[in-house]
Amino acid sequence: MADQAGFDETVRDDIWTILSRKYGTVRRGGHPVDAEEHLHERTFWPDMHFHKVETVEQPGGRQIRITFTPVNEPATTYGYKVDVDKAASAWSERVGIREPRQNPSMFAAELIWYMVAYIGASKMQDCPEGEGGVRWINTGADIFEPLPEAAAQAH
């Protein structure tokens, strides 16, 4: 996938597919809230409502931006940024056997995995509100870096 914009769009599409799709499960939780979870389809992360995943042209390159609202904070929109070039380079270095541009779906899944860990480790409520009322929780250049100090959020 030689075309950078095409790669970015493929990764964006794969991220949106994972975050917006409904899944079936065989899980039978021990708590009354999820005891019958296996009877219904569920979203990827039921505690979050994902609004959109978009690519944005920035002076330093293209970013993928994900906006979401925790269900327990319905009036607040948070955002997560991915500097695609830096993330692809960091992922190649860490994984070593995979080239992101040849494995965009796997790369997208890894970006989501890291985003979930980052959300859990960050103090989202301390992030200032930016343009469009979104509280961006990261810079985009920090993907696959050590996580922020764990101040475990209960999301």
Look at residue 148 in the predicted model and tell me its pLDDT: 86
Ramachandran angles phi, psi of 33, nearest 5°? -65, -35
Continuous H helices in 21-103: 84-95
Query: How many other CB atoms are there within 10 angstroms of residue 126's CB atom?
Result: 9
For 68, list phi and psi in degrees, rounded to 5: -155, 160
Domain assignment of residue 125, yes or no: yes
Q: Is residue 78 a part of any domain in this protein?
A: yes
Does residue 30 fall inside a structural domain?
no
Rounded CA separation 90/116 (Å): 17
pLDDT in tens, 71-125: 999 999 999 999 999 999 999 887 767 889 999 999 999 999 999 999 999 998 8
Q: Please state the domain count of the chain.
A: 1
Question: Does 117 fall in a domain?
Answer: yes
Establish if 146 belongs to a structural domain.
no
- Model pLDDT for residues 13-68, shown as the tens digit of each residue: 999 999 998 777 777 777 776 777 776 777 777 789 999 999 999 888 889 999 99
Do the domain assignments include residue 93?
yes
Instruction: State the pLDDT confidence band at 154, using cuts at 50, 70 and 90.
Output: very low
The answer to whether position 41 is within a domain reads: no
> What's the pLDDT score for residue 153?
44
Contact 22, 42 (CB under 8 A): yes
- Domain residues for the domain of 98 are 4-20+46-136
Asked if residue 69 belongs to a domain, the reply is yes
